[in-house]
A and B are shown apart, each in its own frame.
Chain A
Amino acid sequence: MSRMNLLQAINNALDTAMAADPRVLCFGEDVGVFGGVFRATSHLQEKYGRARCFNTPLVEQGIVGFANGLAAQGSVPVAEIQFADYIFPAFDQIVNESAKFRYRSGSLFDVGGLTIRAPYGGGIAGGHYHSQSPEAYFSHTPGLTVVVPRNPHQAKGLLLASIRSPDPVIFFEPKRLYRAAVGEVPDEDYQLPLRQAEVIKAGEDITLLAWGAQLEVVEQAAEMAEEAGISCEIIDLRTIVPWDVETVASSVFKTGRLVVSHEAPLTGGFAAEIAATIQSRCFLYLESPIARVTGLDTPFPLTLEKEYMPGPLKVFEAIQQTMDF
Chain B
Amino acid sequence: MKTTRSTAKPVHKPVFANGDDIQIPVFTLLKPDGTLYAGAGKSSLERDTARRLYRAMLYTRVLDERMMAAQRQGRLSFYMQCTGEEAAVVGATAALDDADMIMAQYREQGALAYRGFATEAFMDQLFGNQGDPAHGRQMPIHYGSRELNYLTISSPLATQIPQATGYAYGQKLAGQGHCTLVIFGEGAASEGDFHAALNMASVHKVPVIFLCRNNGYAISTPVTEQFAGDGVAARAFGYRMQSIRIDGNDVLAVYEATREARRLAVEHNEPVLIEAMTYRLAAHSSSDDPSGYRSKKEEEAWRKKDPLRRMQRWLLDLGWWEEAEEHELVESLRREVLDTMKRAEKRRPPALETLVTDVYAEVPVALREQFDELVAHVRRHPEAYPRSAPWLDADQADAAMQDDPSTRDGETHP
Contacts and interface: CB of A to CB of B under 8 A. Distances in A.
Given A69-B167, A93-B162, A112-B361, A104 B142 contact: yes
B156 A246 contact: no
Nearest to A70: B166
B135 interface: yes
Interface string B136-175: 0110001011100001101010010111111111110110
B166 A65 contact: yes
B197 interface: yes
Contacts of A103: 134, 137, 358-359
Contacts of A56: 200, 203
B199 interface: yes
A100 B154 contact: yes
B366 interface: yes
A123 interface: no
B69 interface: no
B270 interface: no
Contact of B151 (A57, A72, A243): A72
Contacts of A299: none
A43 interface: no
B361 A105 contact: no
Nearest to B180: A69
B170 A74 contact: yes
B163 A66 contact: yes
A156 to B, nearest CB: 23
B267 to A, nearest CB: 18
A66 B137 contact: no
Contact of A92 (B142, B145, B159): B159
B99 interface: no
B169 A70 contact: yes
Interface string A4-42: 000000000000000000000000000000000000000
A223 interface: no
B193 A61 contact: yes
B202 to A, nearest CB: 9
A248 to B, nearest CB: 12
B360 interface: yes
Interface of A: 51, 54, 56-57, 59, 61-62, 64-75, 77, 89, 92-93, 96-97, 100, 102-110, 112, 142-143, 145, 166-167, 195, 242-243, 245-246
Interface of B: 101, 103, 132-135, 137-138, 142, 144-146, 151-152, 154, 156, 159, 161-171, 173-174, 180, 192-193, 195-197, 199-200, 203-204, 354, 358-362, 364-367
8 contacts: A57-B203, A61-B193, A65-B163, A73-B167, A103-B359, A104-B152, A108-B146, A112-B361
Given A69-B168, A69-B169, A106-B135, 12 more contacts: A57-B196, A61-B196, A65-B163, A65-B165, A73-B170, A92-B156, A93-B162, A97-B154, A105-B151, A142-B359, A166-B362, A246-B365
